[in-house]
Chain A
Amino acid sequence: MDAALLEQMLLGALLALSVYLPLRCGQLSLATPGFYAVGGYVAALLSTGVPAFAGSGATSPLPALLAEMALGGALAGLIALAIGRPVLRLRGIYLAIATIALVEILRVLNLNLPFTGGAMGIFGIPQPFEHAGGYVLFTLALLAVASWLCQRLEALRLGRAMAAIRDDELAAASVGIDTPRTKLIAFVASAVLAGITGALAAHFFNSWNARAGSFDASITTLAFVVFGGSRFWLGPVLGGLALTALPELLRPVGDLRLILFGAVILLGPLFFPQGLVTAERLRGLAAVLGRSRGRGHQAPQTP
């Protein structure tokens, strides 16, 4: 497997985590690609337009990338903060539709704003890393941090409040959880993560245009989470990695590859309705591993 594909997989995993965060709070938001596009535009505009970010020639300095990621994440977060309150009054499928509309609005804006390059978008984005391997290490670190934060969430009051809202919003509110605030935090965190990912992706893809944040992308990122499982952060990460890699790994089968890919997406939820990773399956795996290790210690196997 080569580094460029790995990088795409890692970006897919980050986006899947961004869809997972609101879902962890019971909110079906499809806005992730919209914020992803915003983050990408911030990085693309800064690194092609501002000399301090552009660096010399084809390479751009790493601090500039970090600053772009911070700014991209911040802008996406601000947009989410501004629209989050009214939008999050909606629930379930209505929220999904509202967030699709948001993605669409951002896309049409990006196509028509005077400085975003129209449909052609922005190209010639400088590279902070010489090889795709550099991107992989950097993104891996980012994914590790994001995953660790998601893992921490399990133990934090905020994470438990989010889980309570997912299980029953009314009950959660009646035990004193500030449900609008908790939902808003999840939504903004999701936007920030998507914005950061976008800023990184813009460099990796060399060019950035409005197609990064389309309805198709909304569905793809949702598929990551549905396929991998929405209960535990490892699910979306696995889903994002697997579903991004699959079309490429299936290349040897030739013309059939997209049909097979579709079949996998179809069969996944059919056989694993909760996604690949569930708490029971994790516990089961832990128990099996624990037992085999225990046995190995106590009674050495005889030939």
Chain B
Amino acid sequence: MSVGRLLRVGTGLLTLTLLLAGCASDPGNQPLDVAGGVPVGAVLALTGNANVYGQDQKIGLELALQQRNGGGGINGKPLKLALEDSGSDEPGANAAFTLQINRGVLALIGPTLSQQAFSADPIAQRRGVPVVAPSNTATGIPEIGFFISRVSAQSSVIAPLAIEQALKIQPGLKRAAVFYAQDDAYSTAETTIFQKALKERGLDPVTVQRTQLNDQDFQNQISAALREKPDLIVLSLQAVDGGNLIRQLRELGYRGLIVAGNGMNTPNIYPICQKYCDGLLIAQAYSPELDTPANAAFLKAFQAAKGGAIPPQLTAQAYTALQVIGEALVRLDKRQPLAGATLAAARKQLMQEILAGTYATPLGEIRFTPEGEVIQSQFFVAQVRMDPGGRSGRFALLK
């Protein structure tokens, strides 16, 4: 057998295997299998540069699952959650979404990043699988299609509140400096909103500095910004780069107010900027101090699991996402038992049920627009207060 012939045979075999493998059937037409529990999937960024968010979200999902299954599951059947890692990029999110959909999940929670959502959500939309996004804040996510919704309010609603608060604390602010990561979708989207909000309040940014998501050293941009003598610094950065930048800002002598966006809205920044995190202003869609029974139950569960710590927004939103799906499933199953339906029909009805409901969640009472955008009544602004040791801290609610 010559090398050439071997190659032809080998290529033929490879092609055949690939083709056979490609012919896996779509489970959408099969009856829904609830024998092992009602299947719901989650896709989170547990690795890569967004992993700090995914870890927060994972806890929220676990708590919501306990809560749901402790309270009778879906009318007696347990809710079964399959969690997959998407990494922090689009191909990873696409692969994880497809895997979950092929497994026959009824609904999906995720993905963590808006950029991933723009890539992975159309897959769920095409295959008719409800998606409840727990943390996508970019404009245009629910507009991807009927099956896409979110419980995370978009940044254009929340971000300006922090600027307002900064002006309340220090009314004479004149010179704002803006930082954002030019290669990150979240950062570039949010900074536009921040800059617009600043202009509307007569605070034209004196300088706009661009960084990169994976930068560690920001000395150049900081020196350039500090030459302009800013009295307010506005950051649209993610947790890791933002934490490092704050640390370097303070080390290089900046003493004024700092406003950060949703990317730094996680206690995971504490170990990064440590004592320098102190005083940071962040607008939030969740406050641990919200006094409702739903939030009290969530707080209690979180503190029991995490030794008294304060839950971050991402955890509360992830919890809310699973709670929404759980409650919608309970209502749907009561009206029309899930066991008899085909998967495709059950998915469609579930989406209608999700959009129709009103939910008492840790975020307060929420509903959805027909498009799938969340309607949330209350937002908050918090200030980071670090403990004297600089190891840990909390988001203190500002009235």
Using a CB–CB distance below 8 Å, which chain A residues touch chain B? 1-6, 8, 10, 58, 107, 111-112, 118-121, 123-124, 127, 130-133, 136-137, 140, 144, 147, 151, 205-207, 209-211, 234, 247-248, 251, 255, 257-258, 282-283, 285-287, 289-290, 293
Contacts and interface: CB of A to CB of B under 8 A. Distances in A.
7 contacts: A120-B115, A120-B185, A124-B122, A207-B115, A207-B119, A251-B85, A290-B2
Contacts of B169: none
B99 A211 contact: no
B119 A205 contact: yes
Contact of A133 (B5, B22, B119): B22
B62 to A, nearest CB: 15
B18 A118 contact: no
A205 B122 CA distance: 9
B119 A206 contact: yes
Contacts of A258: 47
A2 B188 contact: no
B188 A119 contact: yes
Contact of A119 (B92, B98, B183): B183
B77 to A, nearest CB: 25
A147 B11 contact: yes
A123 B119 contact: yes
B187 interface: yes
Nearest to A254: B85
A257 B90 CA distance: 18
B98 A4 contact: yes
Contact of B84 (A132, A251, A287, A289): A251
B85 to A, nearest CB: 8
A155 to B, nearest CB: 10
B94 interface: yes
A118 B182 contact: yes
A6 B22 contact: yes
Given A119-B183, A144-B15, A211-B89, A1 B21 contact: yes
B99 A286 contact: no
B184 interface: yes
Nearest to B20: A1
Contacts of A6: 18, 21-22
Contacts of B122: 124, 127, 206
Nearest to A58: B126
Nearest to A206: B122
B23 interface: yes
- Give the dominant DSSP class at B's interface: helix
A5 B22 CA distance: 9
B24 A120 contact: no
Nearest to A201: B91
- Give the dominant DSSP class at A's interface: helix
B118 interface: yes
Interface of B: 1-3, 5-7, 10-11, 15, 18-19, 21-24, 26, 46-47, 84-85, 87, 89-92, 94-95, 98-99, 102, 114-115, 118-120, 122-123, 126, 138, 140, 144, 181-185, 187-189
B6 to A, nearest CB: 4
Contacts of A283: 3
B189 A206 contact: no
A290 B2 CA distance: 8
A82 to B, nearest CB: 25
Given A4-B94, A58-B126, 9 more contacts: A2-B99, A3-B24, A8-B94, A120-B114, A123-B118, A136-B18, A136-B19, A211-B115, A286-B6
A265 B17 CA distance: 24
B102 A118 contact: no
Contacts of B95: 4-5, 8, 248
Contacts of B1: 286-287, 289-290, 293
Contacts of A289: 1, 6
Contact of A111 (B6, B19, B98, B182): B182
A8 B118 contact: no
Given A133-B23, A234-B7, A209 B98 contact: no
Most buried by A among B3, B99, B187: B3
A207 B183 contact: no
A58 B3 CA distance: 45
A255 B84 CA distance: 10
A140 B188 contact: no
A243 to B, nearest CB: 13
Contacts of B18: 6, 10, 136, 140
B6 A285 contact: yes
B101 to A, nearest CB: 9
B6 A112 contact: no
A127 B3 contact: no
Contacts of B123: 4, 206
B185 A136 contact: no
B388 to A, nearest CB: 35
Most buried by B among A2, A131, A285: A2
Given A120-B118, A210-B183, A205 B21 contact: no
B11 A144 contact: yes
A207 B6 contact: no
A282 B46 CA distance: 40
Contact of B126 (A127, A133, A211): A127
Contacts of B23: 133
A209 B6 contact: no
Given A3-B22, A144-B15, A119 B185 contact: yes
Contacts of A111: 182-183
